[in-house]
Amino acid sequence: MADLRRTTEMHVTFSIDRMRERDLLQVVDIEEASGLNRWGYDSYRREMLKNPTSVLLVARSSHTTDSEVIGFFAGWTVEDEMHVNNIAAHPGYRRMGIGKSLMQTAIDIARPCGVKIVVLEVRASNESAQSLYRKLGFRFVARRRDYYRFPTEDAMVMKLAID
Ligand SMILES: CC(C)(COP(=O)(O)OP(=O)(O)OC[C@H]1O[C@@H](n2cnc3c(N)ncnc32)[C@H](O)[C@@H]1OP(=O)(O)O)[C@@H](O)C(=O)NCCC(=O)NCCS
């Protein structure tokens, strides 16, 4: 895999790597701490082991000896489209470029596989994620009423053309 090591301007060094089975407990901790609709350990593990179209990445802190996971990305590709299922940075490591690096790396991986469009849904109230996606060039294309549960909320569908 290409060298995915990136350094932020803010004194946090991290690498973006493929997610491994031993990362999963940390991934689900970040998922729970981020208020995301729960996938849970088994779903990520199934994706990792059974879905060859999965793109599963982690951001790993370079400052801790035990390779602490400080962010993750979960998506899959279908023909010329990549769907983003989940992305999160650890609450203690936000606004340090982790979300952006995870998404850019996933796109870098997907592009040579023929992916031309990246699609995602985001809660209508999730300003920080929408801001990240807009910064990366995503545009709103639709609104799905009551798409989310716990709490019920509309989804904004966003797309990015990458070819
Ligand atoms: C959305 C999320 C993944 C962003 O990750 P992050 O590592 O904090 O984001 P980055 O540092 O890469 O931010 C890149 C850019 O996105 C925008 N951005 C990110 N967070 C923002 C915020 N809270 N407010 C405004 N803009 C924000 C900014 O333009 C930022 O660039 P800047 O810091 O130079 O201004 C993170 O907030 C998160 O984990 N949220 C909880 C989980 C979630 O909502 N996931 C999305 C599900 S659809």
* DSSP class per residue in 104-140: HHHHHHHGGGT--EEEEEEETT-HHHHHHHHHTT-EE
Ligand 1 atom at minimal distance to the Cα of residue 121? 48
The pLDDT-based confidence of 65 (bands split at 50, 70, 90) is: low
| Structure token digits, residue 101 | 């690096």
The residues facing 18 across adjacent strands are: 57
Region for residue 150 given its phi and psi (left: phi exceeds 0; alpha: psi -120 to 50; beta: otherwise): left
Of 77, 74, 82, the C-alpha closest to 31 is 74
Q: Is 134 in the pocket of ligand 1 (CB under 6 A)?
A: no
Region for residue 136 given its phi and psi (left: phi exceeds 0; alpha: psi -120 to 50; beta: otherwise): alpha
| Structure token digits, residue 104 | 């850019």
pLDDT over 80 at 59, yes or no: yes
Q: Is 11 helix (H, G, I), strand (E, B) or coil?
A: coil
Name the residue type at position 151.
P
- Tell me the pLDDT tens digit for each residue of 12-38: 799 999 999 999 999 999 999 998 988
Distance 84 CA to ligand 1 centre (A): 15
Distance 61 CA to ligand 1 centre (A): 17
Sign of the four-CA dihedral 133, 98, 87, 18:
positive
Which are the contacts of 65, defined by CB distance < 8 A and separation ≥ 6? none
- pLDDT at 11 (0 to 100): 65
- Tell me the pLDDT tens digit for each residue of 151-163: 999 999 999 999 7
Name the residue type at position 2.
A
CA distance 125 to 123: 5
The pLDDT-based confidence of 63 (bands split at 50, 70, 90) is: confident
Range of the domain at 114: 5-161
Structurally, the chain folds into a number of domains equal to: 1
pTM, 2 dp: 0.94
CATH (domain of 133): 3.40.630.30
The residues facing 118 across adjacent strands are: 82, 160
Distance 10 CA to ligand 1 centre (A): 14
CA distance 149 to 163: 34
